A and B are shown apart, each in its own frame.
Chain A
Amino acid sequence: MEHKLLKKTDLALLLAAVLLACGVLLWRALRPQTQLTAVITVNGVVTETVALSALDGPRTITPETDPPLEILAEPGAIAVVHAGCRDQRCVACGRLTKPGDTAVCLPAKTVVTVSGGAVDAITY
């Protein structure tokens, strides 16, 4: 009696395993970021991560910076509302509401950014 090394069912099983592995990898690569999350870094260190989607009311954040900053997180948005520096560029950025939105305060070495977004980086 002749024995085949692999039968049709065996091959199907192998194929299914490979497809499953590929599927898992693809899902991990493409899964959407549904949570809107803001990240605050001061001098390169993440000091606060705020799940904006999960907030049920406003929350004021005052990271330890010089000059001082006042950051207001609300459901679905975050903004630098006060900066103790001259140029006020981070305040002028207004409410950050979508992935990729960023406010930078160079004097306070602080970055407030909404994580995620359709682009990997922005050239400016």
Chain B
Amino acid sequence: MKKGLIALAAVAAAVLAAVLLYDGVAAKEAQQTFFAMDTVCSLTLTGRDAPAAAEEIPAQVTALETGLFSRQAESSAVAQLNRSGGGTVSAQLAQVLSETREISEKSGGALDCTLGGVSDLWDFSGEPHIPQAAQLQAALAHTGYQKLRLSGNTVTYDDSAAVLDLGAVGKGAALDAVREALQDKRLRSGIVSLGGSILLLGRRTFTVGIKDPAGNAGDCLATMRLSDCCISTSGSYERFFEENGERYHHILDPATGRPVQNGLVNVTIVAQSGLVSDALSTACFVLGVEDGAALAADCGCEAVFVAENGDVTVTDGLRAALKVTNPDYRIVN
């Protein structure tokens, strides 16, 4: 009896040690904070390959920015397209342009990736100011997603003065590329944030906060319990300036070239694709609650709309996962 007990105790101790050891190895965690795409990015990966994978991602995101998406980076594919008024692009960029155009069409032009000329006039990244009406009208004449045509990997500009700007989809597209790069790695879970556009990996359920527009950087108005998806938010508080007592933010209405004024302060989209979540957050902000919710549903995504007066509208599929944590806000639908 005594021998049996000792043997069992040894087995139990071995089981305990094995469980703890496995947990320690499999739960290897790696974190990175880096700057890319004109914003701060961060990631936390868990799993055996986490340290190596975490080392690779910053360089990958920077390469996507400078090699493909940024129109300000002279060597990028987008900058080259804008300079030459079209050309042949990589399969990766062609895919991004194709998906962007599809959402532009579905949104009736609320998402327009040819707004570069108009954005330059406002100069939100430099010295923001109100452009003259005549300048704005002139720039608007060269916008419209239909002016860019894609056939296979060939891009054609119908208007050589159109300026392709992937600012509304770049971070989301980068998240999709990061997910693809990580899919063969031995990871348990991961969370990658590119300036507030977020990728959740693995089966783990994460708590994602939606920034409180009236609060500090760490303040949230609501939290969502989510896993294995992408989340993007467009908010009127991220880039703005005030002139003559009026506030001008960076989300421009393609129809007017001016900041959208429809009572919304932010729109959050939850989607499987990073590009779709990023693109829809802008398009749905422009469209407003009713049409935005319809577009999100059409694209199979969930959305949260937050109004200036604290009203929160959430689509049905997200209702159970969303919890409003700030008493200044309330769900109204």
A interface residues with partner B (beta carbon < 8 Å): 7, 9-10, 13-14, 16-18, 20-21, 24-25, 28, 41, 43-44, 46, 93-94, 96, 98-104, 106, 109, 111, 113-114, 117-124
| A13 with B208: CB separation less than 8 A | no
Residues of B within 8 A of A111 (CB): 33, 40
Question: B20 — which chain A residues lie within 8 A by C-beta?
Answer: 21, 24-25
Question: Once the chains bind, are B15 and A18 in contact (CB under 8 Å)?
Answer: yes
How many chain B residues touch the partner (CB < 8 A)? 46
B240 to chain A, nearest CB (A): 11
CB-CB < 8 A to B119: which residues of A? none
Which residue of B is nearest A24, CB measured?
B20
* B33 neighbours in A (Cβ, 8 Å): 41, 44, 46, 111
Contact of A106 among B38, B217, B223, B235 (CB under 8 A): B38
4 smallest A-B Cβ distances: which pairs?
A17-B12, A100-B218, A124-B211, A119-B209
Report the tally of A-B residue pairs with Cβ distances under 8 A. Answer: 116
Contact A123 B191 (CB under 8 A): no
Chain B residues lying within 8 Å of A94, measured Cβ to Cβ, are 216
Q: Which of A9, A98, A118, A123 contacts B211 (CB 8 A)?
A: A123
Q: Is the CB of B196 within 8 A of A123?
A: yes
Query: A123, B16: Cβ atoms under 8 Å?
Result: no
Q: How far apart are the CA atoms of A20 and B44 in the complex, in Å? A: 29
Stretch among B1-9, B130-138, B282-290, B291-299 lining the A interface: B1-9
Contact B5 A9 (CB under 8 A): yes
Binding site for A on B (CB under 8 A): 4-5, 8-9, 11-13, 15-16, 19-20, 23, 32-35, 38-40, 42, 44, 58, 191, 193, 195-198, 206-211, 216-218, 220, 223, 231-233, 235, 238, 266, 268
Contact A118 B207 (CB under 8 A): yes
Closest B-chain residue to A10, C-beta based?
B8
| B5 & A121 in contact (Cβ 8 Å cutoff) | no
Q: Please determine whether A13 and B12 come into contact, CB atoms closer than 8 angstroms.
A: yes
**Cβ–Cβ < 8 Å partners of B211 in chain A:** 122-124
Evaluate contact between A124 and B238: CB separation under 8 angstroms: yes
A120 to B208: give the CA distance in the assembly, Å: 6
A101 to chain B, nearest CB (A): 4
From B8, B197, B268, contact of A14 by CB (8 A): B8
Residues of B within 8 A of A96 (CB): 216, 218
Whose C-beta in chain B lies nearest to the C-beta of A123?
Answer: B233
Q: Is the CB of B19 within 8 A of A25?
A: yes
Which residue on A lies nearest to B18, using beta carbons? A21
Q: Are A121 and B209 in contact (CB under 8 A)?
A: yes
